[in-house]
Amino acid sequence: MKQGLSLRISQHLALTPQLQQSIRLLQLSTLELSQEVGQMLDENPFLELSEDAAAREEFGLEHANTPVSQDNRDVENATDSIAINSNESGARDQNDADISPEPKLEESWDGDGTVESGPDDSEWGGDAPARKNNLGDSDTEASDMAGNHESLQDHLHRQALCLRLSDVDRAALHFLIESLNDDGYLEDSLASLAAGLASDDLEQAEELEQHFSIALKLLQHMEPAGIGARNLAECLSLQLLGCKDCEETRAAVAMCQQPMELLARRDVRRLAQLCGFSETVIKGAIAAIGRLDPKPGRRFVNVERNLIVPDVIVVKSGRGFKVSLNSDVMPRLRIHDLYANALKQHSGKGAGQTGQALQQRLQEARWFIKNIQQRFDTILRVSSAIVERQKNFFTHGELAMRPLVLREIADELGLHESTISRVTTAKYMSTPFGTFELKYFFGSALGTETGGNASSTAVRALIKQFVSSESPKKPLSDHQISEMLKEQGIECARRTVAKYREALRIAPTSLRKSL
C-alpha cells in the first residue's frame, strides 16, 4: 500500500467543562439550583453572595425591560447572551445545547426582564397536566403546619397518659402504638408480635398475647376513630360504632362483614340479599360508608411540604402581558474582590502551581456566574415566547389553549429542542389562573371538522366541564362525551376520552352514579 498525506476537514462535538456546567444548570429546578449555589459557595472562596442588587446595565441587561409591541410578533428581548458559546472548542452542539456568540463576561449579576404582548383571539386549543399552587397566605400556613407537626404515635401516647393502667398493660399499649403503620393499621397479628418478644417461650408468648388483646381494645377506642384496625373492614366497623344507631348504620356494619369487592362495585342487589336489608337502605348505607376515612392515620403523616415557587411571573399590563423573572429565586453572586485583587497582585511573582490552582478557581467562579445568568436569560426568552403563542390562555383560560410543540419555540428562538425541553422541565410560571409548569403550555393537537386543530388541554377542559354539569343520577359515558365533542367540531375517539378522563382522575360512569 502506498503511503501518502491528505488533508481532511471534519466537525466533531467537544463539550468543554464550562459547556457541561451550563447544560446541567439549565435543567436544574429552583430548589436544586439553590443547593448547587450553596455547594459552590462552600467550595470556591472567590465566590460570595451580594446582598445589594447591582445596576442592570452592569451586566448587559439594560434592554431586558423593552416591551414587545402588539404589532411586532417576534419576542426578541435583548437577552442575546442566553445561548452557550463553544467557539473555543471549535464545534457546535446540535444535540444537547445551542450555541451563540459569547456574551461579555461579568463578575456579578442580578437579572430581571419583562416582555409585553397583546391578546389575539384567532386561535385556541396545550397538553401536560397542570400543577397549580397559588402562592399567598397559604405559604405561612403550610410553614406553621410543618413546624407544629404532631405524629400519630405522639397523639396516641398523649391520650394513653389519661388511662390508669398497670406497668405491663401500659408497656403493651405503648408497643402496639409504635407498631402502627402510617395509615393507622396494625399490620402484624397479636400472636406474631408476642412470639417476636417471647423468644420461643410459649407460656410467655400466650401471656403477652393476652396483654396485647387488652391493649388493642383500649387502642381501638382512641381517637381518631378506626385506629388500630387489622384490615379495612374492621377500620370501617370501628368508625361506624360512633355513628347514630339507625337502620342504615346497622346495614353498613353488616356490609363490612361481606367481601369488600361487592362494596367497591356498589353491587346493591347482591349486598341487599346478603345483608337482609332493602336496596334503599343499602344505598343509604353505602353513602354513609363513603363518608368514613379508610386511612385514619394518614392525616398525621409528616408529608414534606414543598411549595412551588414560580421562576417566571406573568401579569396583565394594558392590552398585553408583562413577563418577568422572579427575583426571589435568582441568586445574587459576585467575585470576592479582596481575594481576586490579592491573587492579581501575586500572579506575576512566580506563585507556581498554587497560583495556577487559585487562578483556575477564580475562572470557575466567573464561569459559574455567567452560566447562571445564561440560565435565567434562557428561561425568560422561552417564557416570553410561550406567552406570545398562548396569549389566549392568559385571557380566556385553558379552554382557549392552542396546540404547541417544542419545535415551534425552538425554531422561533434559534435553539435546539433539547434546550427547550430542559428549560420547561421543573420550571414554573405564575399566571392569573394559577401556577403552572412550563411544560403545561405544550400539547398535541386534535383535528376539527373545519380542518383546524384543537389542543388536548382544551379538550380535557371540555370533558371536565361536561362531567361537572352532568346529572348525578345519569352520568355521561365515554361514548356520550365523545359524541358531545363531535358536536363541538372536535374529532375525539372514545378511547381518547377514556384516557383524558383517567388523566383528570374522573371516575368511570358506574362509580359517578349517585345512589
How large is the average pLDDT for residues 441-445? Answer: 84
Q: Give the C-alpha separation, 216 to 228, whole Å.
A: 7
Q: What integer best gives the mean pLDDT of the chain? A: 77
Global confidence as pTM: 0.59
> What residues make up the domain containing 222?
152-300
- Whether 190 is covered by a domain: the verdict is yes
Grid cell, residue 99, equals 450555541
Per-residue confidence band for 120, with pLDDT thresholds at 50, 70 and 90:
very low
Claim to verify: residue 363 and residue 423 sit in the same structural domain: yes
> Is 423 a domain residue?
yes
For residue 101, pLDDT over 90 is answered with no
Name the strands in the sheet holding 320-325, side by side, starting at the edge strand that comes first in the sequence.
114-117, 320-325, 312-317, 428-431, 434-437
Same domain, 405 and 487: no
Q: Which of 413, 441, 469 is the last residue of a domain?
A: 441
Best CA proximity match to 257, nearest among 222, 283, 281, 231: 231
Q: In what order do the strands lie in the sheet with 333-335?
A: 47-49, 333-335, 108-109
Pairwise pLDDT comparison (81 vs 338), residue with the higher score: 338
Higher model confidence: residue 4 or residue 485? 485
Are residue 58 and residue 192 in the same domain, yes or no? no
Q: What is the mean pLDDT of residues 20-46?
A: 88
Domain match, 185 and 274 both? yes
What is the structure's pLDDT at 349?
52
Buried (b) or exposed (e) across 152-177, using 16+ Cβ within 10 A?
Answer: beebbeebbeeeeeeeebbebbbbbb
- Lowest-confidence segment of 22-36, 108-122, 169-183 by average pLDDT: 108-122
Give a yes or no: residue 4 inside a domain: no
Confidence of residue 386 (pLDDT cuts 50, 70, 90): very high
Residue 368 lies in a domain: yes
Residue 211 inside a domain? The answer is yes
Supply the pLDDT for residue 88.
Answer: 37
Per the rule left: phi > 0, alpha: psi between -120 and 50, beta: everything else, 99 is: beta
Reply yes or no on whether the pLDDT at 376 is more than 80: yes
pLDDT at residue 58, as a whole number: 36
Greatest C-alpha distance within the chain: 104
Residue 146 lies in a domain: no
Mean pLDDT of 483-491: 87
The answer to whether residues 234 and 227 touch, using CB atoms and an 8 Å cutoff, is no
Q: What is the pLDDT of residue 93?
A: 42
Which is higher by pLDDT, 250 or 71?
Answer: 250
> pLDDT tens digits, residue range 237-273?
889 888 888 888 888 889 888 888 888 888 888 888 8
Which three three-digit cell numbers place residue 379?
Answer: 428561561
Number of domains composing the chain = 3
- The share of the chain scoring above pLDDT 90, in percent, equals 12
Q: Domain boundary residue among 396, 412, 441? A: 441
The answer to whether 128 and 390 are in contact (CB under 8 A) is no
pLDDT value at residue 340: 78
Q: Cα(first)–Cα(last) distance of the chain, in Å?
A: 89
Let me know whether 319 and 452 are in one domain: no
**Regarding predicted confidence, which is higher, 133 or 497?**
497
Element (H, E) at 454: strand 453-455
| pLDDT > 60? residue 477 | yes
Q: Are residues 264 and 360 in the same domain?
A: no
In this predicted structure, the answer to whether residue 198 has a pLDDT above a threshold of 60 is yes
DSSP secondary structure letter of residue 127: B
| Residues 325 and 348 reside in one and the same domain | yes
Q: What helix, strand, coil percent values describe the chain, rounded to 5?
A: 50, 10, 40
Which pLDDT belongs to residue 334? 86
Same domain, 347 and 327: yes
DSSP string, 316-373: EETTEEEEEE-GGGS--EEE-HHHHHHHHHHTTS--HHHHHHHHHHHHHHHHHHHHHH
Residues 413, 316 within the same domain: yes
316 domain residue, yes or no: yes
Asked if 245 and 119 sit in the same domain, the reply is: no
Say if residue 379's pLDDT is above 90.
yes
| Residue where the block lists cell 374529532 | 491
**pLDDT value of position 52:** 57
Sorting pLDDT into bands at 50, 70 and 90, what band is 459?
confident
**AA identity, residue 68:** V
Name the domain boundary from 384, 412, 441.
Answer: 441
The confidence score (pLDDT) of residue 304 equals 56
More confident site: 188 or 11: 188
Out of 51-65, 263-277, 323-337, least confident range: 51-65
Is 191 among the domain residues?
yes
Task: Determine the average pLDDT of the residues in 12-18.
Answer: 75
pLDDT at 398: 84
Distance (Å) of CA 500 to CA 97, 278, 309, 456, 496 = 33, 37, 28, 9, 6
Top-confidence residue, 419 or 266: 419
Q: Are residues 333 and 399 in the same domain?
A: yes
